[in-house]
Amino acid sequence: MSNINLLPWREERRHQIQQQFLAGLAAVVVLAGLIVLLTMSVVNRAISNQESRNAYLQGHITQINKEVAEIRDLETRRQQLLDRMNIIQSLQGTRPLIVRVFDEMVRTLPDGLFFTSVVRAGDRISVEGIAESNNRVSSLMRKLDASTWFSEPNLTAVKAAEEYGEQASNFTLSFRISAPSPANDE
């Protein structure tokens, strides 16, 4: 019989299949590596793109915050100016009031009575004075109550003032300024 050896052929074939398998495996590993690198490149590019967008937005947010702060500052300055204008207008409107108050105080002052101190706090006037008698103080209170410019007379204290006479007295009185309506003023 003839001596045919099939082993080397099979071994060669097995070796060839193993070579093909290793080549395919290497190709798959290289392909997987390329896919991973490509994916990483795409993801890094997207991250970089998003970071630049975030930086752009952050820059505009900072700029807008500065503008908002400037607007708030301008609004507060505007409000301060409006407050000043209102104060000036109220002072201009009440400027003749003090003249009328003094004029009315002279008109309500009875004979035999004089003021030693006049203090104004807001719309209240506190008066200290000396009267020849208590009847003069009563007359002053009646005149203040009847006045269209004054209201709520309140006698706080009455003390004897013997240095001005035996019936003389020191008194403390307060009343409120209540300007009449324009129809009553005429």
Average pLDDT, the chain: 87
Question: Which amino acid is present at 81?
Answer: L
The CATH number covering residue 152 comes to 3.30.70.2830
CA distances from 106 to 101, 103, 109, 114, 183 (A): 9, 5, 5, 10, 22
- Residue 118's SS3 state is strand
Tell me the pLDDT tens digit for each residue of 95-147.
Answer: 777 788 888 888 888 888 888 899 988 888 898 988 888 888 888 888 888 88
Residue 66 lies in a domain: yes
Are 122 and 69 in the same domain?
A: no
In a domain, 103, yes or no: no
Q: Quick one: pLDDT at residue 42?
A: 96
Q: Is the CB of residue 115 less than 8 Å from the CB of residue 129?
A: yes
Under 8 Å between Cβ of 143 and 132: no
- Last residue within a domain, chosen from 95, 119, 137: 95
* Domain end marker among 36, 70, 95: 95
Residue ending a domain, among 95, 124, 145, is: 95
The strand ranges marked E within the chain are: 113-121, 124-131, 150-160, 169-177
Q: Is residue 182 pLDDT above 80, yes or no?
A: no
Q: How far is CA 43 from CA 40, 52, 69, 135, in A?
A: 5, 14, 38, 102
Q: Which two tokens stand for residue 37?
A: 């690198």
Instruction: Say whether both 91 and 2 belong to one domain.
Output: yes
128 forms bridges with which residues in the sheet? 117, 172
Considering the entire predicted model, what is its pTM? 0.49
Average pLDDT, stretch 70-95? 90
The reply to whether 101 falls in a domain is no
> 129 lies in a domain?
yes
Containing structural domain, residue 152: 109-185
Q: How many domains does the chain have?
A: 2
- The predicted pLDDT at position 185 comes to 47
Secondary structure (H, E, C), 143-182: HHHHCCCEEEEEEEEEEECHHHCCCCEEEEEEEEECCCCH
Verify that 89 and 119 share a domain, yes or no.
no
Contact 97, 179 (CB under 8 A): yes
